[in-house]
Structure 1
Amino acid sequence: MRKPLGFMFGFVLMVHAGAAAAGSLKRSLMKLEPEERAHQACVMKGLETVRREKRLAGADRLMPDTFKRAHFDGSVVSAKGAAVRAKSHWYALSFECKVSDDQTQALAFSYKIGDEIPPDEWDDIGLWK
């Protein structure tokens, strides 16, 4: 079974907790290496963005490295092997995300949703219900 990259995306759900939490979130992000900060910023922005699609309205997890490691070049995270979970279903996802110079904010997020990932493949690629 494949292990997720670095930090386990545990603080993603704090996104809408208000200004005080935003400062705390930024302090938490600054404790991470730049690449991991960028991944986290993109996960947060990605969830916020994909939830606008009807079938992904309940999205609660986004994994940038499910099928293939995401690439980070200092200002952009490109993921061609990501996955997003909504309503107990996982979907393939590819995205490109531009981040701020300090990697704490995603400035732009574009994506493409792929096919649903069959549940019988989840264990092999590190996904869960």
Structure 2
Amino acid sequence: MRTAWAAIFSVFLMLDAGHMAEAGSLERALLKLSPEERAHQACVVRGLEAVRRGDKRLREADRLMPDTFKRAEFDGSVVSAKGAAVRARDHWYALSFVCTVSDDQMKALAFTYKVGAEVPRENWDDLGLWR
């Protein structure tokens, strides 16, 4: 699963949130994923937008990992992550969120979140986080 995430994240690196709608290649990539993976990716995009706007520490957030501490749960229309992490300015922070997606899992319709404590750098390797 981390391989699929890495492939999609490489697309996210090339695009900012304002250009996602123009990214036909992103949509084609998402359609190749399982519904659960599509939902996770849609929530990552929406989540990055939300945390950048909602938390001063995270204005430069560039990564969001839904499964860092605990596997995110998916029920067909909602992704619930109690063990996510978000990165900004070479710092990782714990994150929990609930994200509602469209019926085709291509778009996040709602995203609520809570930012937790900073993840100590000495824990990054064990959690699969990077600088």
Same fold (TM over 0.5): yes
**Residue of structure 2 equivalent to 1:55:** 57
Match of 1:38 in 2: 39
3-state SS of 2:2 partner = coil
Distance 1:31 1:115, change over 3 A: same
Q: What is the DSSP-based 3-state SS (H/G/I as helix, E as strand, rest coil) of the residue aligned with 1:68? A: coil
SS at match of 2:82: strand
- Tell me which residue corresponds to 2:28: 27
User: Percent same amino acid at aligned positions?
Assistant: 67
Unaligned residue ranges in structure 1 (runs of 5+): none
Which of residues 94, 97, 100 is equivalent to 2:96?
A: 94
Aligned equivalents of 2:42, 2:81: Cα separation in 1 = 13
Q: Secondary structure at the match of 1:65?
A: coil
Larger helix percent = 2
What is the match of residue 12 of structure 1?
Answer: 12
Considering only aligned residues, what root-mean-square deviation do their CA atoms show, in Å? 1.6
**Aligned positions, number:** 126
How far, CA to CA, are the matches of 1:10 and 1:37 in structure 2? 15
Does residue 80 in structure 1 map to residue 82 in structure 2? yes
TM-score, scaled to structure 2: 0.89
Query: How far is the alpha carbon of 1:10 from its aligned partner?
Result: 2.2
Q: Per the alignment, in what secondary structure is the counterpart of residue 36 of structure 1?
A: helix
Q: Deviations over 1:101-122 (max 9, x none)?
A: 0000000000000000010110
Cα distance 1:18–1:66, how it changes in 2: closer, same or farther (>3 A)?
A: closer
More relative contact order in 1 or in 2 (CA 8 Å, sep 6+)? 1
Partner SS for 1:62: strand
Q: CA deviation at 1:31?
A: 1.1
For residue 24 of structure 1, report the CA deviation from its aligned partner: 2.9
Q: Which runs of 5+ in 2 are unaligned?
A: none
Q: CA deviation at 1:124?
A: 0.9
Q: Is the 8 A contact 1:99 1:107 kept in 2?
A: yes
Give the superposition deviation at 1:26: 1.8
